[in-house]
Amino acid sequence: MPEPDAGVLAARPDLVRRLRAAVPDGVVAEEDALRPYETDALTAYRQVPLVVVLPASTAQVAAVLRVCRDMGVKVVPRGAGTSLSGGALPLADGIVLGLSRLNRILEIDYENRTVTCQPGVTNLGISNAVAARGFYYAPDPSSQIACTIGGNIAENSGGVHCLKYGLTTNNVLGIEFVTMDGEVIRLGGKHLDPEGYDLMGVLTGSEGLLGVVTEVTVRILPRPETARAVLLGFPSNEQAGDTVAAVIAAGIIPGGMEMMDGFAIRAAEDFVHAGYPVEVESLLIVELDGPGAEVDHLVERVVEIARARGAVTVKASTSEEERLRFWAGRKAAFPAMGRISPDYLCMDGTIPRRELPRVLAAMRDMEKEFGLRVANVFHAGDGNLHPLILYDANNPGELERAEAFGAAILRLCVAVGGVLTGEHGVGVEKRDLMGEQFTKADLDQQQRLKCAFDPKGLLNPGKVFPVLHRCAELGRLHVHAGRLPFPDIPRF
Ligand SMILES: Cc1cc2nc3c(=O)[nH]c(=O)nc-3n(C[C@H](O)[C@H](O)[C@H](O)COP(=O)(O)OP(=O)(O)OC[C@H]3O[C@@H](n4cnc5c(N)ncnc54)[C@H](O)[C@@H]3O)c2cc1C
């Protein structure tokens, strides 16, 4: 991060006064009270923010952003702070704009199958609000009990059920957001296919760099009539990887298809006793959902495909209680690692499904190279890997080694035709690896988009882009020999 802006630090008392005028009951300025905001779920990085502001309405968000624009103060939006890529990491010379007080469900419209709510409502809060009528919100990050729908939009979050039902971007129909100039803009609504450019697609996954989301309309779905989960154990990752590819190739789209390696299986089983086979090296949990007869038929087909590829354990759930138990191990896999290792880094890269066996084998070799262990628990159907690199921050140099290991895994993901992130975003964690995936021309083009929304670069700077050019510099890149390319178009 660059040195904090001395002018902004000096103007702090004036900033606090003006923010208190904008949000009288929502400004946190005392050192002790700022501490809880110093990190998100990428806890290796910490920075106490200049001030925290907790607005309670869109109008207050707009007023705060205008104050910051006028005073040249940077703004880091924050939902629940569960980002694993450091997206909500504060800046010493910036405010944290916490959206947690904007936590009301505004409308449930069963006829149109939508929920409209404020950005601080938790992901699970949406499903809970419509559960009594048999509905739910499909994208289900493992952090769903805590993470907010605003954060989900900023990260384009996913989860176990996104293979069949899509990521956040496929389930959001409308948003209201506020620009750095304090303008309130609405995109989409309850209808499909919003008009004009797909700006909602641009905002979704923009990691708080383009605008602050203040209202959201999402699609809700009726709960499937039946769901059954099948546990499939294999002697090798290759056989499990082949099974994943073969299931999809057969035209079956499971509600979820997760994979765990031997290390993760044994850690999870020790922790929650989900009934996992501890002798296998690879486990698939495949969930089929829909009408009962269809689900029973699909379970048979998946089992057939798996047996043909060497599955040595096959267990299909026969009750809802058993289905939930099968999932309990997967859901507890991260905390299970916490019992084994004082710290872990959770990586997030995506690869073409057919590369799963090769990449998992390469990670085993890297374990030796970096001298650290890795457990794999991931969304196999999407090819979205979550290697958990175990380390102990108390051992000098181990965090750095874990980060180098993580970077090597992400480089490998890109090398086999994948991408740097599946659902956790770039943040600060993968920022300096962006050049592995994008050319300078790609990154310049992305920054032009950033400049169109936030020309002064005040919204969440230091995230996503390895080098953030000043917008004026970017504008000059295509001006040749001092002449404007289109002299008749006025410039501002
Ligand atoms: C145990 C654990 C499991 C997880 N599992 C998953 C998983 O399965 N799938 C997955 O996708 N993620 C997962 N995550 C990551 C994380 O929960 C998601 O990225 C989530 O969407 C972040 O939401 P949040 O409210 O905590 O946002 P924050 O962490 O507060 O912020 C995340 C980013 O969004 C921006 N932001 C937040 N709110 C707004 C807003 N209203 N307007 C504009 N920008 C905003 C922030 O500036 C930041 O860049 C997991 C995290 C943990 C700790």
Residue 168 Cβ contacting ligand 1 at under 6 Å? no
pTM above 0.85, yes or no: yes
Separation of CA 216 and ligand 1 centre (Å): 15
Percentage above 70 pLDDT, the chain: 96
- The rounded mean pLDDT for the chain is 93
Q: Residue 188 pLDDT more than 80?
A: yes
Q: Looking at ligand 1, which atom is closest to the CA of residue 102?
A: 41
- Report whether pLDDT(446) > 60: yes
Token couple for 181: 């100039």
Q: What percent of the chain has pLDDT over 90?
A: 86
379 Cβ below 6 A of ligand 1: no
CB 260 within 8 A of CB 340: no
The two tokens of residue 412 are 């490998």
Residue closest to 436 by CA, chosen among 461, 415, 416: 415
pLDDT tens, position by position, 164-179: 999 999 999 999 999 9
pLDDT of residue 91: 97
Q: Check pLDDT > 90 for residue 334.
A: no
Q: Is 141 in the pocket of ligand 1 (CB under 6 A)?
A: yes
The span from the CA of 180 to the CA of 177, in Å, is 10
Give the Å distance between the CA of 83 and the centre of ligand 1.
4
Question: Which tens digits make up the pLDDT trace of 26-52?
Answer: 999 999 999 999 999 999 899 999 999
Ligand 1 pocket residue status of 85, Cβ below 6 Å: no
Q: Whose CA is nearest to atom 21 of ligand 1?
A: 152
Closest protein CA for atom 14 of ligand 1: 143
In this structure, which residue's CA is closest to atom 18 in ligand 1? 83
Atom of ligand 1 lying closest to residue 167 CA: 11
Q: If you take atom 44 of ligand 1, which residue's CA is the nearest one?
A: 208
282 strand-pairing partners = 234, 261
